[in-house]
Structure formats: structure tokens, C-alpha cells
Copies of this chain bind each other. A is one copy, B any other.
Amino acid sequence: MKINGKNYQTIWLDEDDRGIVRVIDQQKLPFFLEIKDLRTVDDVFYAIRNMTVRGAPLIGAAGAFGIYLATLDPAFRKDNKFIEKAAGLLISARPTAVNLAWAVNFVLERLKKNNSGSTAPEIALKAALDICETEKENCRRIGVHGLALIEKLSREKNGKPVNILTHCNAGWLACIDYGTATAPIYMAYDRGISLHVWVDETRPANQGARLTVFELGSYGVPCTLITDNCGGHLMQQKEVDIVIVGSDRTARNGDSANKIGTYLKALAAWDNGISFYVALPTTSIDPGIADGMKEIPVELRSGNEVTTVSGFAEGRIQQVRICPENTVAMNWSFDVTPARLITGLITEKGICRASEEDITDLFSDKQK
């Protein structure tokens, strides 16, 4: 997507030096647009761990590129366990999103099955690029399917702006391009449908305030920043027509893990009769998890993210402490929204109910 008129993806291979994977440093956005070079598995691990890259589809792609960089490492030829150790390290960087393990294992499988005569780096790179292309195409298709929902609301409102609420950043910055929750929004905007987005700031890391407002604004989509506390009131006042969020991992039964606070918005939508949709590629569905509420691991990150806030002042990014010194803080990063509160899943294969039956149908369709 475009930033200041120039097209970007969130991750790409350097054109000149094929030993460098380049990413937009999302910790610096929206204050600085900086590109970071990743040259080693460790670089990728820390980029994922420190949220230089974040968002389920993007950390999957980054993990895949991490395996590619591992195949370029001299240790790869000397140590036949090197690639497995690299995979283990990468997968450990963030526990909640299923895409990371999925993408890393996808590249490993391609390497194992190699009977093409290509080198390991060639195979791993091809696999990583394939993941990127697939994710882009999936997001585009999520946009096509989700567009129908927004078009319907627009008709029902006789062309008055459709108000969409989103939490965190499930935008193109979380993916390779288009985004998941934002793909229908961009597509509706491109069609000239009048719409407006309420963006939750999404504490503690403020991905909504920093990234979603930035990317929607850069594209020209009207949006308003609100605190995470505000969405319930807006829904009571009927100022929200539809909620669309992303997913880091959706279980077979439809329970969906997403950024902490998503569950509260799902409750408010339910209480006010507003549709609540989860937009996700089917790679974010984990068929190995039967009951999301019980089985999806929820990442506990450092309390420092809660006791401090990063922002821009006096020409630089600064961190301020918002509470007394030595405050104890806890920082669960995700919550799980039970399927009963989810109106539907918007996937690249179409929209389905958040139920085991519908999800199983999606997967069997996949294998046709």
C-alpha cells in the first residue's frame, strides 16, 4: 500500500543483496519511517520478539524469511541440527499467533521434500516468497468477501457513512499488503462507499493509535481515534454499524484469540445487537485446537509496556512512566473471544459462522 505516494510492502528481499531481508520498523511508526535490515536468524527473532514486525500474517512471513536466512548461514552446512534450532527459536518469539509456527514449518517441509536440484537457499526463499504472495492474495480475497457486508450496510443506511470499529492493527502493516480487517475497508473506500472508522488506541503498545490511524490516514480513509474504553459507549449510542477485527489464532470451534480487549468489544457488540466479524486468512485457523477458550496460549509480556507509554515529543520518540515508581503491572497480550459472540469469520474462502461445522467445511474445501 502507499505511504506518501510510494508503494510499500511490510517485508521484502533487498534487490541487490539477497542476504538482506528488509522490513518497516513498526516500533518507529508513525513518527519515523525507517527500514530495518535483517541478516540473521537472531535478527528476525528479535524483530518479531520486540514487535519491529507484528501482526499474525506478517510474523509468519518474517519467520519464513528467518529460515531462508538460516540456510545462508555458514553454520547451516556444518551443523545438521542448525535449521531445527533456528526454527525452534523463531517459533518461540511469540506464542499466540499460529501463523508463525505454520510458516516456519511450511519452509522446513519444502526443504525436506527438495528433489528439484535447487539449493536450500533457493528453496527456502521461494517458499517465503510463496507465503507472501499467498497472504497478499488471501487478504485481497478477504477484502472482496468483506466488501459485501459494508455494501449492504451502506444500502441500509441510504448511503450515509458506514461506521466501522476496529481494534489494534489488522491492517496491511500487520500483513504483507491490504490487511485482514482493513481489506474490506480499503476496497469499500476505493468503490466510493461513504464510511468512517473508529480506531481503538489499543494499549499497551498502541497499535491502533500508531499504525491503524497512520495507514488509514495515509490512504485517505476517514477515521477517528478513541480510547479502548470508548467503544461500548459508541455502540450504546448506535454510532457503530459493524465491528471488524483480526485474529492471531482461531480454534476449530471458532473461539478467536486477538489483541487484549477484543473480547470486551465483542461483548458490547453483542449487547447492542451490532455485527462482530473476525477477518482472517485460514492460515490463522488452528485445526489442532478444539476449544480456543481452554487451549490457546496467551502471551504474557513485560509489565513495562503497561507502566510506560512511548510517543513523540521534542523531535524524538520518548517513553514516559504513567504511574508511581516500582508499580507492579501485568500484561496479557491477547484475549480469547468465544465463538458465541462472533457473527462470522471473513476468510479468503468466504464468510462463515464461527462454528466447528462451518470451519470444518472451509478446511475440507481447502483440500479439494
A347 at the interface (CB under 8 A from B): no
When A228-B228, A329-B225, A332-B233 are in contact, do A320 and B323 touch as well, CB less than 8 Å? no
Report the stretch among A50-58, A88-96, A181-189, A309-317 that lies at the interface.
A309-317
Q: How far is the CB of A140 from chain B (nearest CB, A)?
A: 26
Determine how close the nearest CB of chain B comes to the CB of A264; give it in whole angstroms: 4
Say yes or no: is A331 at the interface (Cβ < 8 Å to chain B).
yes
- Copies, count: 2
Would you give the shortest CB distance from A168 to chain B, in whole angstroms? 9
Contacts of A362 in B (CB 8 A): none
Is A332 a contact partner of B209 (Cβ separation < 8 A)? no
Residues of B within 8 A of A309 (CB): 309, 311, 320, 322
The answer for the CA separation of A227 and B298 in the assembled complex, in Å, is 15
What 1/0 mask marks residues of chain A from 315 to 347 whose CB sits below 8 Å from any chain B CB?
000111111100111111011100000000000
- Which of A223, A267, A309, A322 lies at the interface centre, i.e. has the most chain B CB atoms within 10 A of its CB? A322
Chain B residues with Cβ below 8 Å from A323 are: 30, 201, 206, 209-210, 213-214, 225
**Residue pair B313, A232 in contact (C-beta under 8 Å):** no
Chain B nearest CB from A56 CB (Å) reads 18
Is A105 an interface residue when CB atoms closer than 8 A count as contact?
no
Contact A232 B267 (CB under 8 A): yes
Across the interface, do A232 and B330 meet the contact criterion of CB distance under 8 Å? no
- Helix, strand, loop or mixed for chain A's interface? mixed
**Across the two chains, which residue of chain B brings its CB closest to A293?**
B236
Across the interface, A213 reaches (CB within 8 A) one of B202, B232, B293, B327, namely B327
A residues contacting B by CB (< 8 A) are: 30, 201-204, 206, 209-210, 213-214, 217, 223-234, 236, 259-261, 263-265, 267-268, 271, 293, 298, 303, 306-313, 318-324, 327-332, 334-336
Q: Give 29 A-B contacts (CB < 8 Å), ordered by A residue.
A: A30-B323, A30-B324, A201-B322, A201-B323, A209-B323, A223-B328, A225-B306, A225-B323, A225-B328, A227-B261, A228-B228, A229-B261, A229-B264, A229-B335, A231-B264, A232-B261, A233-B260, A233-B332, A234-B332, A236-B335, A264-B268, A267-B267, A267-B268, A267-B271, A309-B311, A312-B322, A313-B321, A318-B318, A320-B320
Q: State the 7 A-B residue pairs at the shortest beta-carbon distance, nearest first.
A: A229-B261, A311-B320, A233-B335, A209-B323, A267-B267, A225-B329, A203-B227
